[in-house]
Chain A
Amino acid sequence: MKFTVDWLKDHLDTKFNNNQIIDKLTNIGLEVESFENSTSELDTFIVAKIINAKTHPNADRLKLCDVDIGSDKTIEVVCGAPNAKNGLLTVYAPPGSIIPKNQMKLSVSKIRGVTSYGMLCSESELLLSNESDGIIELKNNKYENKIGEKYFKNTSEKVIDLSITPNRPDCLGVRGIARDLSAAGAGKLKINKKSNLKYRGNQNINVTIKKEKAQGCTIFGSCLIKGVTNKESPKWLKDKILSLGQKPISAIVDITNYIMFDLNRPLHAYDADKIDNEIIVRSSSKGESFEALDNKKYILENDMCVISDRSGVLGLGGIIGGTRSGTEYSTKNILLESAYFLPRSIRKTSKQLNIDTDAKFRFERGIDPLSIEEGLIKASELIKQICGGEISNLDVKKIENYKKTIINFDPFLFEKTTGFNVENKELIKILEKLGFNVSKNKKILKLVVPSWRPDITQPIDIVEEIVRIKGYEHINTSEPVKTRLKPTLNYYQKLFHFLQRSVASKGYLETVTWSFTDSKINQLFKENDEEIPIVNPISSDLNVLRNSIFPNLIFYLKKNLDRGFKDISLFEIGPSFKGKNPGDQLTVIGAVRAGKVSRLSWNDKERIVDTFDAKKDVIQSLYEAGINKDDIIIDDRTPSYYHPGKSGGVYLNKNEKNALAYFGEIHPNIIKKLDIKTEGLVIFEICLDYIKESKQKIKDLKSEYKFSDFQKSERDFAFIINKNFKSQELVNIIKSVDSKLIKSVRVFDVFEGENIPEGKKSIAVNVTIQSEEKTLNENDLDNINKLIISSVESKSGAKIRS
């Protein structure tokens, strides 16, 4: 909402200066977006200084000037003026400027092979004099300190631009703003002058508001103005329209616009001679169409509120008029409309047709239903004054009567809500100035809400009015109450926090990527999940919710590889979506690691990252997050986007459907499809939702401390075993031989090839044996060795290597 201070003063007697007004507006909730001169075409011309003028390499008469325009760098301008010389202060016009003399728009251009950024101006080009022999020479003492500043003073009045919240339609008119300011002590609201308009004759175009279920209009007021001469608006009116940032059109249109912005009362003027017999306000039928004043043809749906005549639709009520009945300079007779349209209907129609107009914006928020006559009278007066003509009696058709909103307000609610007290007397004064009718019934105030405040419906709204006008600075600052109702984080929140930092501590950079992704990448990772398209995506490559954490991670991994990074470790913790209903989402950590380990190290052998790097990171993170080492099982069931041979899942149960985590290489097909160029790429993921909350706290989980001081022995075994036999099972077989004595089993060598039969491999393990009761003698140890060998051989079909 834009207006000038002068316009405000049409309605407000105030001693406040501009800055006080601006502050007051902000303090009462009318946020000031800006307070600036309306822009002028002359704003671009600035004071500049020629730093260096040298001859143009390709033209003796032209000069190449380095010009200081007050910014970091000088600008190079080609200039033909004989007086261009070093140190000269002059006026510079940047590209885009419009030269007053010829109204030409400057662009960056090449003059004899040298690019010129803008131009240095002569007095004649700026219409300052007829002097066109050289560029302007500015006086040193006056302009030396003004380099970079505007040469022309902007004489337009400063415009206040308010951002009006949707609850305040009344402040979409200057008078409403003046009323708020007056309530807040910024002046006195001027009383509207009584009109002494004389009416002649009746409004003889019949108006009917059809009683229909979907009727979007409840009041239609109108009057006829006959014998007008439409013309250009007078200067004062043009200036008002210009200050709004709009273009003046004709007196009649400008007047209706002026009243809309002045009183927040939208009006519409029809050329009465173009109306076919009568006005019918009705709901549209699907397929009806009309050409609107924005020169677009609209095809209507059912139940849109239209103003029509016998020939068809004239316009969409409260939204936009039609060209068929529009006023022109030749218009002689006007039908002026001042109506009330239901916000709901306006909103629905404008959404369906995607139209936004100033009138729509206002009706949608709620126009004062009691402003019908005032609007007609004010506009008619102005039309008569500027365009002449005779005004008919006002004709107001209604299908519904306005009902006053009455609120019984207990002033105690104010203190209860805001924490401070305002005397009843002051409270009543504020409300009365805002337009409330206040009467007292013991402690309770009976308030009649002004008709221009559709937002006020209940006592809490009254609290807001009072505290807003009184000023939020009166609210006391109470020290925060530290009472705690429950622990800050629950188990899964702690887990989130912990795993996030655990993964990062292993060298991964955390990233945050969109929750949506490109369906083309998503489908490589979505497995059996349903695709979740966004109806109105921000772009076609962010068109679905991600079914997996990886599509974006892989996409950005590739971007970083393309930037020239080789060794990249990235992770994200966030949602992956399994369905389109609220809650169909899992919290997942996804990590990617590309390139080499120990690249360019002078003392370590470099190698490509592999599955066991990913496995280490995932397993260690799980341990750190409190998963018991002995509880997990590694299996090779993994989603299809993993390499079928080089990936694994971490399960708590052999037959469980969902793994806690997966790790391994990405399927080579995906790498090929996405054209990822890297030496090595491994990924892992942890699904936090599949980690079960332990019922015991760590204080309950610490078992009794036991240790053995008896000597421990280590024995190495090498078995020849089927190639596909899993080392994890071999380890389990050995452990199960005597879980008390066998303290640990470590695989230290795996070997295939020479001396090993086809289809077999050799696995070497180191077994630590220790008793808690005695030192084992050779005999005891031999027995265990034998047991280990026989168990492994019988359970796995392995043979001990001799």
Chain B
Amino acid sequence: MSDIKKIKDDYIDKLNTENNIEKVNNIKSELFGKNGIISNEFKKLGSISVEERKKLASDLNNIKDELQNKISIKIQEIETKEINLKLEKEKIDVTLPERNIEIGKIHPVSQVIDEISSIFSEIGFSVEEGPDVENEYNNFTALNTPDNHPARDMHDTFYLDNSKELLLRTHTSPVQVRTMLKGKPPFKIIAPGRTYRSDSDQTHAPMFHQVEGLHIDKNINMGHLKGCLNYFIKEFFEVDKIKMRFRPSHFPFTEPSAEVDIGYEINNGKIVIGEGNKWLEILGCGMVHPNVLKNVNVNPSKYQGYAFGIGIDRLGMLKYGINDLRAFFETDYRWLSHFGFDPLDVPSNYRGLSR
């Protein structure tokens, strides 16, 4: 017994100072190998008396457990040390740049169209479209703007034929005509899209974007028009209060007609919407003229409602502080990166209109 206790103590000491995994493994086989010291002690058990055997076996087992436990702890210790040492060597410079990120952007016009659609969707409008090339009838005549009407001069029109029958639509209003001709009232639509006028300077581009709105039902009056636009402007500019002014104006296709101004002020060179004493014209609207309703086979004594037209580019400029309209269409990589929106920024009601 004292022998094996001594062996145990010796090996425990040995193990305590040992740091090499191979040597620990050698010790392990020295003790527990086929002819290992402890293995041999167990073999001896067969040749001693039952009485002694019990005692010795129990001692041996204890020593075996103790040594094995010590060995496995030691192995773990050494391994951990070695791994740590190895990992230490593997350290990399994580401040080196990541693999190239390719960032795409959504054009401000598209983003604003989506914002507008999201807002009007919330109050039950659906989206309609019409072609960019229109005939003279849909663009003018059906909209109560006959050929001899001076209001036509307000639209510098691009023509596709000499008889002036085919043209690039000067506004999105022909979508009203198309929508009403193909359906039956009630109508509740918006129609965003490209529009064209042969006009080009710092504040005008030959192509720009408008959104048309149309709501026709039995009892839709100017109060609804005011409410709808008030709601839209507030939502669009994401402000609680909006200063808004309806001013009488004239469009051949609405009667009564109005232009809508919003209040603003310039604060530190930036435009602040909804406050201040200055007025900015942002849209035209009115009650759809009975002549227009007749032209699209809607009975004006039964149905009435409003229409509006908003300049999309201009709204975007105001909301996002863009100064130059022409830059919208010049495809300058720097401008697109600067003013573009992340494709995941999908305007929606539940997630918020914008970040």
A binding-site residues for B, Cβ under 8 Å = 26-29, 31, 165-168, 343-344, 347-348, 364-365, 416-420, 458, 460-461, 463-464, 467-468, 472-473, 475-490, 493, 497, 500-516, 532-538, 542, 545, 552-553, 556, 559-560, 563, 565, 568-570, 573-575, 577, 580-585, 597-599, 601-604
Find chain B residues with CB under 8 A from A472 CB: 246-248, 258
Q: Take A487-B126, A536-B159 as given contacts and tell me if A503 and B248 are in contact as well, using a CB distance cutoff of 8 Å.
A: no
Contact between B151 and A166, CB atoms less than 8 A apart: yes
Q: Take A507-B102, A575-B194 as given contacts and tell me if A582 and B224 are in contact as well, using a CB distance cutoff of 8 Å.
A: no
- Listed by A's residue number, 30 A-B pairs whose Cβ atoms lie within 8 Å are A26-B247, A165-B250, A343-B150, A458-B290, A480-B123, A485-B124, A489-B117, A493-B129, A504-B104, A504-B106, A505-B104, A509-B336, A509-B340, A510-B110, A511-B336, A512-B107, A516-B207, A533-B160, A535-B159, A535-B160, A536-B159, A537-B198, A538-B206, A560-B331, A563-B333, A565-B333, A569-B104, A582-B134, A583-B133, A602-B96
B304 within 8 A of A: yes
Q: Take A348-B148, A601-B99 as given contacts and tell me if A574 and B194 are in contact as well, using a CB distance cutoff of 8 Å.
A: yes
Of residues B97, B224, B230, which shows the largest number of chain A Cβ atoms within 10 Å of its Cβ?
A: B224
Contact between B158 and A537, CB atoms less than 8 A apart: yes
B binding-site residues for A, Cβ under 8 Å = 96-97, 99-100, 102-107, 109-110, 114, 117, 120-127, 129, 131-135, 138, 148-151, 153-154, 158-162, 166, 168, 186-188, 194, 196, 198, 200, 206-207, 219, 221-224, 226-228, 230-231, 246-250, 252, 255-259, 287, 289-290, 304, 328-334, 336-337, 340, 343-344, 346
Contact between B198 and A418, CB atoms less than 8 A apart: no
Find chain B residues with CB under 8 A from A484 CB: 124, 126, 188
Contact among A168, A467, A581, A585 for B166, CB-based, below 8 A: A581
Give the distance in Å from the alpha carbon of A603 to the alpha carbon of B123 in the complex.
52
Contact among A478, A559, A574 for B223, CB-based, below 8 A: A478
- Chain B: minimal CB distance from A410 (Å): 11
Contact between B105 and A504, CB atoms less than 8 A apart: yes
Contact between A477 and B227, CB atoms less than 8 A apart: yes
Find chain A residues with CB under 8 A from B133 CB: 545, 577, 580-585
- What is the chain B residue whose CB lies nearest that of A587? B129
Of residues A464, A580, A584, A602, which shows the largest number of chain B Cβ atoms within 10 Å of its Cβ?
A: A464
Chain A to chain B: the 5 pairs with minimum beta-carbon distance, closest first: A507-B102, A29-B248, A419-B223, A165-B250, A556-B331
Q: Given A31-B247, A416-B221, A574-B194, 8 more contacts at CB 8 Å?
A: A504-B104, A509-B337, A510-B104, A510-B105, A512-B107, A513-B331, A573-B110, A581-B166
Find chain A residues with CB under 8 A from B102 CB: 506-507, 569
Contact between A542 and B206, CB atoms less than 8 A apart: yes
- What is the chain B residue whose CB lies nearest that of A561? B333
Give the distance in Å from the alpha carbon of A461 to the alpha carbon of B248 in the complex.
12
Contact between A419 and B222, CB atoms less than 8 A apart: yes
- Chain A: minimal CB distance from B231 (Å): 5
Find chain B residues with CB under 8 A from A344 CB: 148
Give the distance in Å from the alpha carbon of A481 to the alpha carbon of B194 in the complex.
28
- What is the chain A residue whose CB lies nearest that of B123? A480
Interface Cβ pair total, 8 Å cutoff: 261
Contact between A478 and B226, CB atoms less than 8 A apart: yes
Find chain B residues with CB under 8 A from A458 CB: 290
- What is the chain A residue whose CB lies nearest that of B164? A535
Contact between A583 and B131, CB atoms less than 8 A apart: yes
Contact between A585 and B131, CB atoms less than 8 A apart: yes
Contact between A419 and B333, CB atoms less than 8 A apart: no
Find chain B residues with CB under 8 A from A602 CB: 96-97
Contact between A482 and B104, CB atoms less than 8 A apart: no
Find chain B residues with CB under 8 A from A505 CB: 104, 343-344
Find chain A residues with CB under 8 A from B166 CB: 580-582
Contact between B255 and A478, CB atoms less than 8 A apart: no
- Chain B: minimal CB distance from A687 (Å): 16
Find chain A residues with CB under 8 A from B196 CB: 515
Q: Take A480-B224, A535-B161 as given contacts and tell me if A347 and B333 are in contact as well, using a CB distance cutoff of 8 Å.
A: no
- What is the chain B residue whose CB lies nearest that of A361? B150
Contact between A501 and B106, CB atoms less than 8 A apart: yes
Contact between B154 and A166, CB atoms less than 8 A apart: yes
Find chain A residues with CB under 8 A from B126 CB: 484-489
Contact between B343 and A501, CB atoms less than 8 A apart: yes
- What is the chain A residue whose CB lies nearest that of B287? A417
Give the distance in Å from the alpha carbon of A560 to the alpha carbon of B226 in the complex.
45
Contact between A485 and B186, CB atoms less than 8 A apart: yes
Contact between B117 and A477, CB atoms less than 8 A apart: no
Find chain A residues with CB under 8 A from B104 CB: 503-510, 569
- Chain A: minimal CB distance from B297 (Å): 18
Q: Take A508-B104, A602-B96 as given contacts and tell me if A536 and B198 are in contact as well, using a CB distance cutoff of 8 Å.
A: yes
Contact between A538 and B200, CB atoms less than 8 A apart: yes
Contact between A512 and B304, CB atoms less than 8 A apart: no
Contact between B224 and A478, CB atoms less than 8 A apart: yes
Give the distance in Å from the alpha carbon of A347 to the alpha carbon of B150 in the complex.
8
Contact among B150, B200, B228, B336 for A510, CB-based, below 8 A: B336
- Chain B: minimal CB distance from A242 (Å): 27
Contact between B223 and A418, CB atoms less than 8 A apart: yes
Contact between B162 and A535, CB atoms less than 8 A apart: yes
Contact between A480 and B227, CB atoms less than 8 A apart: yes
Contact between A463 and B150, CB atoms less than 8 A apart: no
Contact between A575 and B132, CB atoms less than 8 A apart: yes
Contact between B222 and A467, CB atoms less than 8 A apart: yes
Give the distance in Å from the alpha carbon of A784 to the alpha carbon of B158 in the complex.
67
Give the distance in Å from the alpha carbon of A709 to the alpha carbon of B336 in the complex.
50
Contact between B168 and A582, CB atoms less than 8 A apart: no
Give the distance in Å from the alpha carbon of A476 to the alpha carbon of B224 in the complex.
8
Contact between B106 and A485, CB atoms less than 8 A apart: no
Give the distance in Å from the alpha carbon of A417 to the alpha carbon of B256 in the complex.
9
- What is the chain B residue whose CB lies nearest that of A555? B331
Find chain B residues with CB under 8 A from A418 CB: 221-223, 256
Find chain B residues with CB under 8 A from A468 CB: 248, 256
Find chain B residues with CB under 8 A from A533 CB: 160
Give the distance in Å from the alpha carbon of A732 to the alpha carbon of B235 in the complex.
53
Contact between A500 and B328, CB atoms less than 8 A apart: no
Contact between B114 and A497, CB atoms less than 8 A apart: yes
Find chain A residues with CB under 8 A from B287 CB: 417, 460
Contact between B168 and A515, CB atoms less than 8 A apart: yes
- Chain B: minimal CB distance from A742 (Å): 34
- What is the chain A residue whose CB lies nearest that of B145? A166
